Amino acid sequence: MSATATDLVDSLNEAPASRFHSKAIFVSGMGFFTDAYDLFIIGTASALIAKQWNLNTSQVSLINSMTLLGAFVGAIGYGRLADLVGRKRIYGLEALIMMVAAIACALSPSFIFLVVFRFILGLGVGGDYPVSAVLMTEYANRANRGKMVGLVFAMQALGTLTGYAAGLALLSSGVISPDWVWRLLLGFGAIPAAMVLYSRRRMPESPRYQLFVEGDESGAATSLAAFSDGQFAPPVVGRIKPLKLRLSEVLGDRRTLLLLLGTAGSWFVFDYAYYGNSVSAPLIVKTVLGAGATTQQSLALNLLIFSVAAVPGYYLAANYMDRIGHRRLQMVGFVLMGVMFLLIGVIPGVTTAIAPFLILFGASYFFAEFGPNTTTFVLAGEVYPTSARTTCHGISAGIAKLGAFIGVYLFPHLTKSFGVSGAMEFSAGMALIGLLLTTLLPEPAGQTLEQVSGEAAQLKLGSALAGAEASLA
């Protein structure tokens, strides 16, 4: 007996967690491991590059932030392409860019070459955001969607930790010259990118994309078979009209624009604060430790802070967001993260008292991960219809990375002009804006993607038409 298109989508939404889901989490997550390594290792590498090439603050800021500018372009460009030609055709291309660019960065002969190659690297990093997020979102079931997509993003924690650990190990060994350490650190990013490139070509297309955008019911059923080890692959009967929207149609819809203000706006202000603090974390901690602190001491403390405070936040967010609510967790995270930033800014002497500073700075990391760093990524993949999902996620991620670019570029200058306290107070203000923008979003937890996006009516109509035609026949 043939199944309807509604049956197929219901099977996706209600399917129990499977080996395929675990594989998809790992394959998508390795991309974010690579993204995080490439984005955050530059804070360590640039400190070494500045000494070797005698760079000023503006040049160091440009090196640190250029990948984020490339990510702005890559997220928007590849997000749009994935809605036009399919998720699978883009899946892996961004990994190839990251692999080649990482090697090119390591071999850079001069400042200008490094800036250009870091921009190209950002194209791949940015492209990975919408494609990996949306593909995992569309693979996921209803009950565990936040957890599955959150675990993909949590691989960012392991990538960041690996960067800190690699930098500390190479610098502490004393075997390799610092002039070569930064090249090795940048080049290491090619290794996980190569693994991602190999594994992603073996993943199926999103059944939701095949159904709603291509109108390919049989292809969607075949892809769904991967979720159930071949147990569910009947011919599907449906009359789902293929829907490929022009960009003007996407951006001309009032509801979509309001949602973009919520997803892109909240992500922008969060990334300004988060990346400004994270990429400059070695500088921040070194400032607090005092002029005599070494790069190794700064890295060791950052590794400790991130391990104790940030890593638990990622995994607690993934495990509890479906119970708490995706939107609600983002709002709670913004409030508490902003409070930590504000306390660092207003408590007299806290930026020169190592223990109180580390406690507050660590707490800000925890509530960033157990909150908007994870949820902005998840929400942007849930609230849009399939035909515009990667486009809008890409716009949101791209605008976020523009905020990150501004934060990374400005943070050293703000710290220099107003001290760590002043820079943190500004970040607290950004957290407040993020809280207000989050109120524009619906709560997707516990709902199907079709309910959240409004596609349930389209699906019901298509299946009803198919049933009527079958009865007449």
Alpha helix positions (H), 306-445: 311-324, 326-346, 354-369, 372-379, 389-438
Please check the confidence at residue 286 and state whether its pLDDT lies above 70: no
206-209 contacts: CB < 8 A, separation 24 or more? 206/86, 206/87, 206/88, 206/134, 206/135, 206/138, 206/139, 207/8, 207/12, 207/138, 208/9, 208/12, 208/138, 208/386, 208/449, 209/86, 209/87, 209/138, 209/386
Please check the confidence at residue 329 and state whether its pLDDT lies above 90: yes
DSSP notation for 127-155:
HHHHHHHHHHHHHS-STTHHHHHHHHHHH
The model's confidence at residue 424, banded by pLDDT at 50, 70 and 90, is confident
Q: Can you tell me the mean pLDDT for 428-444?
A: 96
Q: Give the pLDDT of residue 391.
A: 96
Q: Are 145 and 16 in contact (CB under 8 A)?
A: no
**Percentage of the chain lying above the pLDDT 90 cut:** 52
Measured at the alpha carbon of residue 101, what is the angle toward residues 99 and 103, in degrees to the nearest 5? 75
Q: Can you tell me the mean pLDDT for 89-101?
A: 92
Q: Give the pLDDT of residue 81.
A: 95
Please check the confidence at residue 291 and state whether its pLDDT lies above 70: no
Please check the confidence at residue 375 and state whether its pLDDT lies above 80: yes
Please check the confidence at residue 420 and state whether its pLDDT lies above 90: no
Cα–Cα distance measured from residue 383 to residue 386, given in angstroms and rounded to the nearest whole number: 10
Please check the confidence at residue 76 and state whether its pLDDT lies above 90: yes
Total-model pTM: 0.88
Q: Give the pLDDT of residue 472.
A: 42
Q: Give the pLDDT of residue 192.
A: 93
Q: Can you tell me the mean pLDDT for 114-120?
A: 97
Q: Can you tell me the mean pLDDT for 49-57?
A: 92
Of 32-36, 186-190, 214-218, the one with minimum mean pLDDT is 214-218
Q: Give the pLDDT of residue 232.
A: 56
What confidence tens digit (pLDDT) does each residue in 16-25 have? Answer: 888 889 999 9
> Under CATH, which architecture does the 3-242+250-466 domain have?
Up-down Bundle (1.20)
Q: Give the pLDDT of residue 471.
A: 46
Cα–Cα distance measured from residue 110 to residue 163, given in angstroms and rounded to the nearest whole number: 23
DSSP notation for 168-192:
HHHHHH-SS-HHHHHHHHHHTTHHH
Phi, psi of 148 (to 5 degrees): -65, -45
Please check the confidence at residue 285 and state whether its pLDDT lies above 70: no
